[in-house]
Structure 1
Amino acid sequence: MGSNIIWHDEGGSAVRVALSGPLTIDDVAHYSNALAAQPPRAPGLAVDLSAVTAIDTAGAWAINGLIDRWQTAGYPAYLEGASPQIDRLITALATPPAPVLRRPDTGNPLVHRVARIGASIIALTNNTGGFLAFLGQTLVVLGATLIGRRRLRWHAVVHQGEAIGVNALGIIGMLLFLVGLVVAQQGAVQLRQFGAEVFTVNLIGRATTRELGILLTAIMVAGRSGSAFAAQIGSMKLNQEIDALRTIGLDPIAVLVVPRVIACSLMMLGLAFYGGVCALIGGGLFAWSELAMPPGAYVTRLQEVIPMSDFVIGMIKAPVFGFIIALMGCFHGLQVTGNAESVGTRTTQAVVEAIFVVIVFDAFFAFFFSSLGYN
């Protein structure tokens, strides 16, 4: 008699899957497909093994795979009702070897909420520690590469530079052109109330050169290239290509991460400058068509109102943002585990965290340079 698997949706509490009968290799195809039928979602999963009569290593692997899938997606998964023998086998086959979580025996929703918050804090701490270790490794290898103690793979740098920079010229140019147009239009509408439309050029020049041009370019690169880095390296890890590199004596940091970090940092310089120019062209087109300001007068006015410090500050921020984007993408790619679903999860995390950190650093730069008198 085969195993029986029933899913129950308990509403506000955890989704429950009740298993009965034997969980052995004879039924592996049946129960593996049935266990994968429910996508991970809030608030979590409870696995009821109280009616399981027998289990072997194939069954234990299937249970561990189900729990790992939910936990990787960020949702708690617990065992309930497992006999001591079944519990020992599942724990022994966990990857990495560790006790499988058991659902707290409480009906108090406050305790359950606190447990979820604690699990999230632990996951955040582990993620932060792993990122700091990865950052240290990357800086060591990057430093050794820059001083000539390690060979720089120029072919990889050029290839990544083409993917990050050249292939992004169209979308970034169009985006920043439209942003310059919108900033000019909205600025003119507001300044017209005070008869100060001439200062629209000041708004366009300083906003796009120092802040918006750099920041929006970084966000676009994070969406294009940061996600690509995470997906590419994550797929390589799933296919065991990362392990193959280590087996033949190559450092994945030097082969995969450093070329992407260098290429992204350098390309962000060019893209930031290019995006800023496109934004100024968009603003100039509006000033010419709506404010009757000739292109020559517009360029002259830009030279008067944009200090050199704004351009320098923007060019300082650009490679820093590129470094952050590449680092986040590569880190999350190397954290991929389990299955293809993890690639999607880590790719999303790479983009979100890269954009968040870029905005945080942009705010830091704004306060830092303002404190130095560059307002």
Structure 2
Amino acid sequence: MQPADFQLEDTGDGGAVLRLVGDWTTTGVGPAARRLAGRVGASPVKRLDLSELGRFDTAGALILVHAAPGLLPESAWADRPEAGRIYAMVEALERESAPPPRRADALTRTFAKIGLGVYDIGHEMMMSMAFFGRLMEAALAALRRPGSIRWPAWFSQAERAGLDAMPIIAVTNFFIGAVIAFLGANLLTQFGAGVFTVQLVAVATLRELAVLITAILLAGRSASSFAAEIGSMRMNQEVDAMQVMGVNPFQALVIPRLAALVLMLPLLTFIGMLSGFLGGMVVTWSQLSYGPAFFIQRISDDPMMGTHLMVGLVKAPVFAVVIAGIGCRQGMSVAGDVESLGRRVTAAVVQAIFAIILLDAIFALIFLELNL
């Protein structure tokens, strides 16, 4: 293969002769195309010298169309009529092709993105409401017919979503309790109220931090797992196969995961509370010299601790329903490609965490109005 080259000679009458050398094909026309585009324009090409032209394809023809505007006469291709036919075809297609659409201005694109985002939010809300409606229908059907419940699936999901998460839940809440105790010991001792560090750790752990941290960890751990598992089954058409065999996918896939989280999240929250107490106890013992007996006594003597415990545990089942529902809903929405699976898994984690924080704020307002 001979690389493409050219020579451009001025004829003196306001035109030029273009001599094509070598193979003007897709693989060999690159460097010559850039040089030709920079030289043609001052003098229009009127004749072609094809005596040294090798192979010629549509790539070479497109280069000539762009470099020499205007249709070259058919007589210019007398020595190579087959090349002339290729050139004429490419020139006609290029001339008849529609111009590229005009790019909208920045303001229009900004409002278009905002409108598209609002539409996506509304669509997600509608689809989520429809999913939760089907979920409630499947849950009521399971309660009416306990014999149809797949107990092995329930216990398997409870083990994977609950028992396997105990170590990370305990360790994380331990350090959260220790951090709260460090802050309380540092600030309250400046006012001679270091003893109230125990109440600070207890109230923060019981009411907010234990259930919130546990729910967020499960949102990242279980919601993503639910979305990935069900989404991969959707990609492999296993969900469609279930429906063909008369198996309700909600009964087989969604209800066991929902029941497992509703059962295990309060237990994990209680374990998180104990771990937070342990972290706070270690810090108050090491920093303020308050022993474990004093720490436990201060908590047990406070009559409001039972209320704080109830407030924290009441949130757990609601958070469990939200986490399981969002994870399974995103899994059921996966299309047939891996990119869709990745988007849905990411959306499951983000939406679950956002919903948990929003619901926690709503619970805080409700309990504030109820003086709890």
TM bracket (short chain): 0.7 to 0.9
Give the CA deviation at 1:106: 4.3
The one-letter amino acid of 1:296's match is A
Alpha-carbon distance change, 183 to 322 in structure 1, aligned in 2, over 3 angstroms: same
Measure the CA separation in 2 of the matches of 1:128 and 1:363.
20
- Match for residue 257 of structure 2? 260
1:349 corresponds, among 347, 350, 361, to 347
| CA deviation profile, 1:267-295 (whole Å, cap 9, x unmatched) | 10100000010000110111112211121
1:193 partner SS: helix
Q: TM-score, normalization: structure 1?
A: 0.72
Q: Distance in 2 between matches of 1:362 and 1:104?
A: 48
Q: 2:296 is matched with which residue: 276, 294, 299?
A: 299
Deviation at 1:238, TM superposition (A): 0.5
The one-letter amino acid of 1:322's match is: A
**Who is 2:308 aligned against?**
310
Residues 144 and 150 in structure 1, CA contact (< 8 A), matched pair in contact too:
no
Deviation of 1:150 after TM superposition, in Å, equals 6.8
Is the aligned partner of 1:195 residue 2:223? no
Residue 116 of structure 1 deviates from its aligned partner by 2.0
Residue 191 of structure 2 aligns to a residue whose secondary structure is coil
Say whether the 8 Å CA contact 2:177–2:205 is kept in structure 1: yes
C-alpha root-mean-square deviation of aligned residues, in Å?
2.5
CA contact (8 A) 2:322 2:352 kept: yes
TM-score, with structure 2 as normaliser: 0.72
Q: What corresponds to 2:229 in structure 1?
A: 232
- State which of 140, 145, 151 in structure 2 corresponds to 1:143: 140
Map of 1:241 onto structure 2 = 238
Give 1:338 deviation, angstroms: 3.4
Q: Distance in 1 between matches of 2:174 and 2:270?
A: 13
CA distance change for structure 1 residues 227 and 291 in 2, over 3 Å: closer, same or farther?
same
Deviation at 1:189, TM superposition (A): 0.3
Runs of 4+ in 1 over 3 A off after TM superposition: 81-84, 103-107
> Is the 2:265–2:316 contact (alpha carbons within 8 Å) kept by the matching residues of 1?
yes
2:199 is aligned with what amino acid?
A: N
Residue aligned with 1:348, SS: helix
Matched residue, 1:365? 363
After superposition, give the CA deviation of every residue in 1:129-152 in whole Å (9 maximum; x if it has no partner). 111100000011112212336721
Q: Secondary structure at the match of 2:371?
A: coil
Unaligned runs of 5+ in 2: 1-24, 27-57, 60-89
Give the whole-Å Cα distance in 2 for the aligned partners of 1:168 and 1:83.
Answer: 60
Q: How high is the sequence identity, in percent, across the aligned residues?
A: 40
**Distance (Å, rounded) in 1 between the aligned partners of 2:212 and 2:121:** 26
- Please say which structure displays the higher CA radius of gyration: 2
Cα distance in 2 between the residues matched to 1:132 and 1:216: 26
Contact 2:242/2:248 (<8 A) preserved: yes
Deviation at 1:304, TM superposition (A): 2.1
Q: How does 1:25-174 map to 2 (within 5 A)?
A: 105-148=102-145, 151-174=148-171
Equivalent AA in structure 2 for residue 308 of structure 1:
G
The one-letter amino acid paired with 1:141 is: A
- Distance in structure 1 (CA, Å) of the matches to 2:233 and 2:148: 22
- Cα contact 1:236–1:242 (8 A) shared by 2: yes
1:83 and 1:260 map into 2 onto residues whose CA distance is: 55
